[in-house]
Amino acid sequence: MEQPDNWSTPQNILVILAHPDDPEFFCGATLARWARAGHQITYLLLTCGDKGYNPTTHPEMTPEKLCGLRHVEQNNAAKIIGAQAVHFMDLPDGYLVPDLNLRRDIVREIRRHQPDILVTCDPQNLFALYGINHPDHRYCGQVVLDAVFPAAGNLAYFPELIVEGHQPHMPKEVWCSLTNQPNTTVDVTDTWDIKLSAILEHKTQVQDVEKLIERFKSRRTEDSTDENPRYEEKFRVVKYS
């Protein structure tokens, strides 16, 4: 069966997510697949994940120190995935609000990078495998979708961005990861180990390496076996062309 990402030419792919490690956890195997197919991948992360620690168990850590560590971890992971660039907006972790100012900032980035394919996460996913989905994940997805339509490609929205030199641009496709209502499935068996290797670069977020490896190895499809596993990543895709 033909894969849904069988594009005939190299694509410019922009990944907009909330935290370092989100690209790898949510869709790292798909991103690795795209990188190996010759597509250009750029990350834009809205926060640096500066609250991703427990002050009780790590009293020596501070948000500022963690922010720096997570920059390094994310750049290392992105290299394994094959992304060409990583950008951080460094907004406060845990405090994202999909307001008009952030929407304008995202429109600016879409117009600046002019992606063919835009990747974010599903804002309607209130619950995840680990319980309640992080509000930053949901609000990131919400503000990105609000920026895509109707603003990013419409000259009438945020005319101040035209003054800055950012012309309207509309992605051809938007891929929402971390969704409970997928309409697209990608076979990522060949790049699942790359995803796992990239996740392990996020050392401040991985408490038990062996358990994490076991957990991700167990996520094979039900129609496969431990000896011959098959892995998939699912998305809600909206196409505009």
pLDDT digits (tens, 9 = 90+) for 13-43: 999 999 999 999 999 999 999 999 999 999 9
Question: 44 exposed, middle or buried (CB, 10 Å; 0-12, 13-18, 19+)?
Answer: buried
17 phi, psi to nearest 5 deg: -135, 175
Residue 57 has what pLDDT? 82
CB 41 within 8 A of CB 13: yes
Choose among 115, 43, 117, 112: nearest CA to 77: 43
Q: Kindly report the pTM of this predicted structure.
A: 0.96
DSSP code for 133: P
Taking alpha carbons only, the member of 192, 216, 212, 215 closest to residue 202 is: 212
Domain ranges of the chain: 12-234
What was the pLDDT predicted at 55? 84
Q: Residue 205 has what pLDDT? A: 96
The CATH number assigned to the domain with range 12-234 reads 3.40.50.10320
Listed as ranges, residues in the chain with pLDDT below 70 are: 1
Predicted pLDDT at 130: 73
Residue 84 is predicted with a pLDDT of 98
- Name the maximum alpha-carbon separation found in the chain: 58
Query: d(Cα 11, Cα 13) in Å, to the nearest integer?
Result: 6
What is the reported pLDDT for 56? 81
pLDDT of residue 1: 58
- CA-wise closest residue to 235 among 150, 192, 174: 174
